[in-house]
Structure 1
Amino acid sequence: MNRQAAERQGRHGERLAAWWLRLQGWRIVGERVRTKRGEIDLIARRGKVLAFVEVKTRGNAAALALAIDEYRLRRVAAAAEGLIARYGAGVDEIRIDVMLVRPWRMPVHLKNVWHG
């Protein structure tokens, strides 16, 4: 898959993940938020919980299984750290979540995946 196709696939997955989170009662407060340390795909809030969400979109389960590792999660956590002051007012819980998106499947929401 070329770079443009991968970018389209990723953006489509992020839209699906945002839609899914909204259906679960989350409010999307940020999309593709860039920091010096990296980018956060989605920032979502539900009640007093703030989630920095990494979205991975792949064509099959095997590719999704390899899409998230400690290195990627560490980058998301570093980027999130710089955004807590901006988005974290009034929250009791801040976490890193992952959304796994595959064609013709319901998105999978992995909650609180980083404990670094």
Structure 2
Amino acid sequence: MNAPAERRARERRGHWAERMAAIALMTRGYRILARREKTPLGEIDLIVVRGKRVAFVEVKRRATRESAEASVTAAQRARVRKAASLWLARNSGYQSYRIGFDIVFCIGLRWPQHLEDAL
């Protein structure tokens, strides 16, 4: 497969994983505030809220749990936190909420695994 086609295929799989993660979170009572939120400081895959907790979620689709865990880098954690700070500054209604940095792993065709405060 050529490079552009492979890139499009990866993007489709990534979007599928984000949709599955959103569905899994909604079944747990979360409301989706934003998907693929782009800021000058980076992109946040999902922003969700449940009760008085707003969470910034990184979604990882990999073949194994080990490879998914290994794919979450310190640079990604920092990027999401910086982007979240900017988002909160622009959305002041959520500044009093408890803030979470979560991860959702999409491993194969299994139900997504949500880890609160793991990012």
Global fold match (TM > 0.5): yes
* Aligned position for 1:110: 115
Worse overlay, 46-55 or 88-97: 88-97
Write 1 or 2 for the structure with the bigger share of helix: 2
* Distance (Å, rounded) in 2 between the aligned partners of 1:4 and 1:48: 37
- Residues 50 and 109 of structure 1: is their aligned pair in 2 closer, same or farther, counting only changes over 3 Å? same
* Distance (Å, rounded) in 2 between the aligned partners of 1:68 and 1:21: 20
Worse overlay, 2-11 or 54-63: 54-63
What SS does the corresponding residue of 2:9 show, helix, strand or coil? Answer: helix
* Aligned position for 2:76: 72
Deviations 1:83-109 (A, max 9, x none): 013345254301111111112212111
* Distance (Å, rounded) in 1 between the aligned partners of 2:90 and 2:23: 23
Q: Contact 1:17–1:101 at 8 Å: present in 2 too?
A: yes
Q: Contact 2:65–2:105 at 8 Å: present in 1 too?
A: no
Query: When the two structures are aligned, how many residues end up with a matched partner?
Result: 114
- Give me the identity figure in percent: 39
Deviation at 1:110, TM superposition (A): 1.3
Q: Contact 1:42–1:52 at 8 Å: present in 2 too?
A: yes
Q: Specify the structure having the higher radius of gyration (Cα).
A: 2
**Of the candidates 5, 9, 20, which is equivalent to residue 9 of structure 2?**
5
5+ long unaligned stretches in structure 2: none
Q: Contact 1:49–1:92 at 8 Å: present in 2 too?
A: yes
Superposition TM-score, scaled by structure 1 size: 0.89
Root-mean-square deviation over aligned CA pairs: 1.6
